[in-house]
Homo-oligomer: A and B are copies of this chain.
């Protein structure tokens, strides 16, 4: 007898999957007993369980999760939708949620909207076709129109990081943007900075608006001369705008960049003019990345509690999946200021 299934690419479809029926036959029990023996949903005699497990191991049986969840109507997938995977902040959140999901026997499927509401809606629709137990989403705009679709399908969801314009009725997990920005602003004042610029991407984003307001309120209260710049999303353009600012306002002592890209732009402008960040011009970043620590002194940053954000969102979603129908709530997590600057001498 020749065995064609030997070579790696030797045959077309030689492999017939091991099903629960094969295991049942091998263990001389019925398929339902195998199921119960493995899932422990009903009592099965210990010696039969042992026989089943032996057969499973011997045959290399692995339960087909798709078939399993189809019948049991218990979805094992969690949908996660984010603007982009290449942003380590989002990647971190996905990684953490995946780990949590895995330890509860579920699996995450990820969709990226690339910052486009239409793509976002399409992704949500595509994910909905997988009948996820729930969805965790970082919306790309304040509308989050896809919410309706999820509601219509009865899929529970939690919104993360970006708070919708109308936040009523949604479960939301975000950070205390205003408080975090205020803390940083106050620290700048305490350390002697009196002429600062707040670097925003676009004030149409609620996160950025909250950060801007938190910072500006603190600056105004403290009597710090502060200006807000809307610099967009392209590093080179941001650098150009900051460059102009540095020329026009030579008295400027610090820049508070409200996201990591803005920080990149600010640093590029400062370094491009031969100045030293943290010495000639202080830079504080909202959101902390590894590369911010190569500078000397290191760039100070507002650190977002990524793990806590992901955990809070996951926990909330799990409760919803379990049937919790308490009123939707908005959770705001505190951020922490990683101050690495030297006091202004």
**A residues bordering B, Cβ < 8 Å?**
8-12, 14-15, 17, 60, 62-67, 69-70, 84-86, 88, 91-92, 94-95, 98, 102, 107-110, 112, 125-126, 128-131, 151-154, 169, 235, 264, 267-268, 271-272, 274, 289-291, 293-296, 320, 323-328
A-B contact pairs, 30 of them (CB 8 A): A8-B151, A8-B169, A9-B325, A9-B327, A9-B328, A10-B325, A14-B154, A62-B125, A63-B129, A64-B70, A64-B129, A66-B66, A66-B69, A85-B92, A86-B88, A86-B92, A88-B88, A91-B91, A94-B110, A107-B109, A107-B126, A108-B110, A235-B293, A264-B290, A264-B291, A264-B294, A268-B294, A271-B294, A271-B296, A289-B291
- Contact for A290 among B65, B85, B126, B235, CB less than 8 A: B235
Tell whether, in the assembled complex, residue B62 and residue A70 are in contact, meaning their CB atoms are under 8 Å apart: no
Most buried by B among A107, A274, A294, A320: A294
Please give me the residue from chain B that is nearest to A15 by CB atom: B154
Q: How far, in Å, is A5 (CB) from chain B's closest CB?
A: 8
Distance from A165 Cβ to chain B, minimum over Cβ atoms (Å): 17
How many angstroms from the CA of A139 to the CA of B128 in the assembled complex?
31
Task: Report the minimal beta-carbon distance from A236 to chain B, rounded to whole angstroms.
Answer: 9
Q: Using Cβ atoms and an 8 Å threshold, which residues of chain B touch A85?
A: 85, 91-92, 94-95, 98
Residue of chain B at shortest CB distance from A274? B296
Q: What residues of B have a CB within 8 angstroms of the CB of A12 in the complex?
A: 323, 325
Top 7 nearest A-B pairs by Cβ distance?
A15-B154, A9-B325, A291-B291, A268-B294, A66-B66, A271-B296, A267-B294
Task: Give Cα A9–Cα B169 distance, bound, in whole angstroms.
Answer: 9
Contacts of A235 in B (CB 8 A): 290, 293-294
Report B-chain residues with C-beta under 8 Å of the C-beta of A326.
9
Question: Please, which residue of chain B has its CB at the minimum distance from the CB of A326?
Answer: B9
